[in-house]
Chain A
């Protein structure tokens, strides 16, 4: 069936298009292959490409605000990101290949909520917030409460992610690790550590439907932290043909150890 296609220019126009039936098209790197295979609703497509308000990366108080349509390439090379949330630049640079990075967006990754996706893990560790809008109004949700399950998020069918706000990690130590098999395949494990003077958080993605989170104090015991990761993975196993759950669980522990080691070795930035 030929789909109806809309490419609104402004946020209000967009919100009127989002009637609960529409499928949002951002970079298309995830949704287009699915639609091509006949998966998902193709009846009404609403593209976000024409809305300048969804673009851009800017400081906003102690945070960095990413327009939902900020691409992986932009995030990987943006000086503000490099200064204030360098691990997000690292995460962005490792995604897929250059074609995917040029089109794929932070909003698309957040909305899809895939297990182990680079940003999903990084944004969880960073304590990011998602700004969501609809005809009914707008709201802000903590990212770790936004991703509810495997590719399941707290996003109603008439809602759109407008921006992602990420607290600056300036003055802290951070690290990001990804482990993957071949270029173009989803990463097996991603791990992010954020060690701030007053708080710390470890997130590990890929071994469970949503990232494992371990809150870290000023000082923390490495062995106990890794045991906590391991226990969390055991309770919510996730795996596939090439990377079965027990393997992912073991890798979660490995990469948690690596990312914490690297974060500790970092100079505070």
Chain B
């Protein structure tokens, strides 16, 4: 039986579809209290006083917490972790604001009460006196000389200044005639992951045995346990974190949030369970955003489209900082340029700047989508300036399959790829060659159709040095006395179905019957240590660890079965939960071997054998360099999936409205374990990519006040906006992983932005429009047409 490569429906499907899953808010420990958070209405203000008396006095209120109390209790989050290539400015983070607030939505106080209505009323009764300070509405305001400081211990608002260089881009640009150069500005605006289920945690401190149990909608229970233990100075061994079913995460639930610490602190103080469930407006202001980057670029190219030099200034508005580490996405954006393309002379400078916008939090794409948007728009610009096809310019500049592993100017090492392969396949799927005729016919009818492509690179398996989110994970495989297999993994599932893929790998490697393999995840008390779910690593790390553990079990089963069958191990065939001697044709089932091991440890087949039918193994991935080596290699991404997207759009010039007629994507994530689940991931990722391209944007005004506080303003695409998606698969196996898996999950979110931009430009070629700011809302597309018209370009 071959399980790897089979489209087996996700094991969580029935439960989720039936509404029978247990989410954190469904858990109701006896006597549970509810927490509400008092948040800053100001973008930047000094806290003059916090008067909690009116809140305390309300009937049903158990506790009101302030920043001062937590600070005096010694609760503060200290900077940790090592960074290579750059040094970020850091500061101690308070989970409830002390002295000042730095963004709208920052937690200032917390109220714990018998129910949410009471907690909410008490939160409204907490009186905070603020003295407002000038607020920085965006990164450019934050960079102005004399700008107010968000972090008062810093000399300015620059958190990271990270230069990347290879060759001499300035010299090449200077030596290139104007006809061989182009330049421009690109902007990728803020978005929020917006999972269906918001954040949430229950902390239950037991004062008698001094343990604490937390149920959290998190991606990484072990990591949350370690971070909470450090924050609260609470023994890690007495802390248990359980991840119930999670209703979507997309990076947005990588720990740790201020609310996690506050809830756990409150429970410990009260000796009672305390629950905090996020409201949607809290999420949109304080749950963390991503993107929000600008790129000023200059490129030099040869007449044949080969790019000879790239110079880019990247400006990231990472907002005010909190306890979570989304700002690292800006590093990934910079380090993934030029990405899929060989450019000999590169000069990139990233400045990540703090402002009074909300903090960043990880979101699917993790900065790679920004790099893809910038690079692909630059490639389109070169195609236009050189008078060449958009596909031809990509072909000309792609890293060729023989050049892998390829060291990026950042030092990151791209493992393998065949970019031309996905490009050609997607052109076929979308009907690239036939399109011009269709386009001309539609144009004659007064309709504006356009076609576009966008290539994305999705490095996966993020393995950061000196961090709990690193290049390993562990799994336990065990067999019961009756022959059932249990797998416990350190990776978790945010609803994506990786437990199904892991079960397939274990069943395959063990020779087990898939129906008898159960995968358990998400409980620090039972699962071995792991980093959880992020960076599409659940199969490459979790599956590979489980495979190693399964092989240990298999070896033991084979030895004992060999003795039972009087056969050599080499003669054995293991499949379908049965071990068979090829020579004699005799066989024993796993059930019989397990019974032999458990029931007759002193029997004749068990001499010299440790009877444990349980093994834990940790897979440590290759192609990670945590110290810069002599060749400049420093790499945190072992595997690099990629895909090329293409789409056909129709634009209505009078309104600027863009409708996607068809979206095709050919992806390459190496070997696919379960095509059905991989496609489900890709469908979701593409829709999120389309959302961020056309509909979604977190907007702040010049005073850093959110303009999109609810889902009424933060317009997510719905079923009406869903599009016809066509997928294609290719496989360029990674040389560094089991079977060549690379990881899927993030893939597909990056290509839509540049592909749609490219298609809009194509549709509006008569006007000479170039879409440079994402999302391409009707108002922006319309404005671009007006600008092009008044500049006398086109019609």
Contacts and interface: CB of A to CB of B under 8 A. Distances in A.
B782 A38 contact: no
Interface in B699-729: 699, 707-708, 710-713, 715-721
A185 B715 contact: yes
Contacts of B121: 1
B117 A182 contact: no
A242 B189 CA distance: 12
A97 B718 CA distance: 11
A93 to B, nearest CB: 14
Contacts of B710: 33, 37
B132 interface: no
Interface string A32-50: 0100111000000000000
Given A38-B120, A247-B778, A240 B783 contact: no
A36 B710 CA distance: 12
Contacts of B129: none
A146 interface: no
B185 interface: no
B679 to A, nearest CB: 25
Contact of A184 (B124, B281, B711, B783): B711
B655 interface: yes
B716 A182 contact: yes
Interface in A19-40: 33, 36-38
Contacts of A186: 712
B718 A182 contact: yes
A195 to B, nearest CB: 23
B719 A243 contact: no
B117 A242 contact: no
A243 to B, nearest CB: 5
Contacts of A179: 655, 657
A2 interface: yes
B699 A241 contact: yes
B654 interface: yes
Contact of A183 (B117, B699, B718, B783): B718
Instruction: Name, among B120, B279, B721, B779, the residue most crowded by chain A CB atoms within 10 Å (CB to CB).
Output: B779
A250 interface: yes
B205 interface: no
A184 B714 CA distance: 11
A242 B715 contact: yes
Determine chain B's interface SS by DSSP, over half rule.
loop
Contacts of A246: 783
Contacts of A1: 121
Contacts of B654: 254
B699 A242 contact: yes
A218 interface: no
A254 B720 contact: no
A247 B711 contact: no
A240 B707 contact: yes
A181 interface: yes
B712 A241 contact: no
A69 interface: no
Q: How many B residues touch the partner, as a band? A: 20 to 34
A11 to B, nearest CB: 31
Contacts of B655: 179, 251, 254
A180 to B, nearest CB: 10
Nearest to A186: B712
Interface residues of A, number: 25
Interface in A211-233: none
B717 A241 contact: no
B553 to A, nearest CB: 51
A240 B699 CA distance: 10
B206 interface: no
Nearest to A181: B715
Contacts of B656: 247
B713 A240 contact: yes
A240 B654 CA distance: 19
Contacts of B697: 241-242
A16 to B, nearest CB: 27
A254 B655 CA distance: 8
B779 A247 contact: yes
A243 B713 CA distance: 11
Interface string A178-209: 01011111101000000000000000000000
A244 interface: yes
B619 interface: no
Instruction: Name, among B117, B656, B710, B778, the residue most crowded by chain A CB atoms within 10 Å (CB to CB).
Output: B778
A251 B779 CA distance: 10
Contacts of B120: 38
Nearest to B782: A247
Nearest to B281: A37
A33 B719 CA distance: 22
A178 to B, nearest CB: 12
Given A242-B779, A244-B779, A247-B779, A183 B711 contact: no
Interface string B174-211: 00000000000000000000000000000000000000
Interface string A228-267: 0000000000001111101100110010000000000000
Contacts of A185: 712-713, 715
Contacts of A244: 779
B117 A2 contact: yes
Nearest to A188: B778
B528 to A, nearest CB: 42
A181 B778 contact: yes
Interface in B99-134: 117, 120-121, 124
A185 B721 CA distance: 12
A230 to B, nearest CB: 14
B265 interface: no
27 contacts: A37-B281, A38-B124, A181-B695, A181-B777, A182-B715, A182-B718, A183-B719, A183-B720, A184-B712, A184-B715, A184-B718, A185-B712, A240-B713, A241-B697, A241-B699, A241-B707, A241-B708, A241-B713, A242-B777, A242-B779, A243-B777, A243-B779, A246-B783, A247-B656, A247-B783, A250-B782, A254-B654
Given A36-B279, A182-B695, A247-B778, 19 more contacts: A1-B121, A33-B712, A37-B279, A38-B120, A38-B124, A181-B777, A182-B718, A182-B721, A183-B718, A183-B719, A183-B720, A183-B721, A184-B715, A186-B712, A241-B708, A243-B778, A244-B779, A247-B783, A251-B655
Which A-B residue pairs are the 5 nearest by beta carbons?
A241-B699, A241-B707, A247-B779, A183-B720, A183-B718
